[in-house]
Structure 1
Amino acid sequence: MTSEVAHAKRALRAELRERRRTRPAHVVDAANLGFTENLIALAKETDAHTISAYLSTSFEPDTRPFLNWALADGRRVLLPIARQDGLLDWAEGDGETETEGLYGLPEPVGGILGPIAINDADLILIPASAVDEHGTRMGWGRGYFDRTLGSMENCPPVFAVVFDDEILDEVPRELHDAPVDGAVTPTRIIRFAN
């Protein structure tokens, strides 16, 4: 059963990665404006003073305009740093300085706060390849965020950031997959009844 689910996830990820790769630039630009607007609205609505987010890659929804807004608004931003052991360290982002980290992912430059810094977050924004209508999130296959969320005792609201066509009826799920409370798309903020 597990190998069937893992195979289904790999196939779906490949399809979604290709869809993102071939999305026209003008569509992505318009979507990014919507992402920023909805992320700001969510941060204000949840009154999140410390926000855990991520530095987006070139094929993900652009988080940088939102991060710049959050910092300019006096909010603390925690950004992940992937470790070889499968855990995430955290650093405070300045909205400007980043480097290439493990797997070629963008990471903040700054003092490392360690894995438990995530417990200070009032809102967690995480990347995803897709989310289903039940709040099942499918990441990109390394499990960093599933491990992080699974280890938290008092988890604040967790929202995946995805394009509208990545909200699916159902995504393949394994036991370790941590659900999300909602999703942010270019056109809406969705909350799931978990």
Structure 2
Amino acid sequence: MPDEIADAKRALRAELRERRQLLSQHARDAAAAAIAQRLDALVDELGVRSMSCFLSTTTEPGTRDFVDAAVRRGIRVLLPVTRADGLLDWSVATPDLDIAEGLHGLPEPVGELLGPIAVNDVDLLVIPAAAVDRSGMRLGWGRGYFDKTIGSMEGCPPVYAVVYDSELLDEVPRDVHDQPVTGVVTPTQTLRLAPARR
């Protein structure tokens, strides 16, 4: 990766991380409730029976209420579990979900692990992001887990990134391995940005 792209990504991530840390608990709670409603509507619109989602950290736009509600509705939700080799294992969310700190300090499910290819059967991927631009390019947090996952899937289903409204940008720095997303879900809108790859 050229140094200027890496530097631009690092600087933007630092700015976005700081902005997230400054959000009040009230703003985070309101965002989580709105995102749960938007994801619920997206699942209905796409007729999703099986999907992947992530367990949000305290500063990320909240997804946990949505995951709980989706499981109660009978949707099969796969949650990512990080591996040292840069791939993701998957675990099925359950109503009594046990959560522990994962490899990079992220919240991850405790339970039976399914291999990396388990995600190939889902109807929708909902993934984290630091920011997304209007062409669908996603800026992740720099470890490449989701870029590798998306890039390796044949017949990839729609991929939606969850961000705060201020993180939908005109442009993000990009490199050759970066994978675009189909759309973005924020507390105030669900936008389709790029065609699904199926």
1:93/1:109 contact within 8 Å kept? no
- Give the root-mean-square deviation of aligned CA atoms: 1.0
The one-letter code matched in structure 2 to 1:5 is I
State the aligned residue count.
194
Q: Quote the Cα distance in structure 1 between the aligned partners of 2:155 and 2:11.
A: 33
Percent identity (aligned) = 58
Query: Which 4+ stretches in 1 moved above 4 angstroms?
Result: none
Distance 1:186 1:174 in 2: 28
1:126 alignment partner in structure 2: 127
User: Is the Cα–Cα contact under 8 Å of residues 91 and 110 in structure 1 kept in the other structure?
Assistant: yes
Partner residue, 1:28: 28
Task: Give the aligned partner of residue 88 of structure 1.
Answer: 88
Aligned 8 A contact 2:29 2:62 in 1? no
1:32 is displaced (CA, Å) by 1.3
Amino acid at match of 2:126: L
How far the C-alpha of 1:145 sits from its partner, in A, is 0.2
Separation of aligned partners in 1, 2:102 and 2:172: 29
Deviations along 1:126-172, one digit per CA (max 9) or x if unpaired, are: 00000000000000000000001000011000000000000000000
Alignment correspondent of 1:66:
66
Q: Give the alignment's TM-score, normalised by structure 1.
A: 0.97
Q: Deviation digits for residues 70-100 of structure 1, max 9, x if unmatched?
A: 0000000100110000000111011421111
Alignment of 1:39-188 (within 5 A): 39-95=39-95, 96-188=97-189
Q: Secondary structure at the match of 1:6?
A: helix
5+ residue gaps, structure 2, are none
- The amino acid of 1:123's aligned partner reads L
- The alpha carbon displacement at 1:193 in A equals 3.2
TM value normalised by structure 2? 0.96
Task: Supply the AA of the counterpart residue of 1:33.
Answer: A
Structure 1 Cα separation of the partners of residues 42 and 73 of structure 2: 14
Flag structure 1 segments of 5+ consecutive residues without an equivalent. none
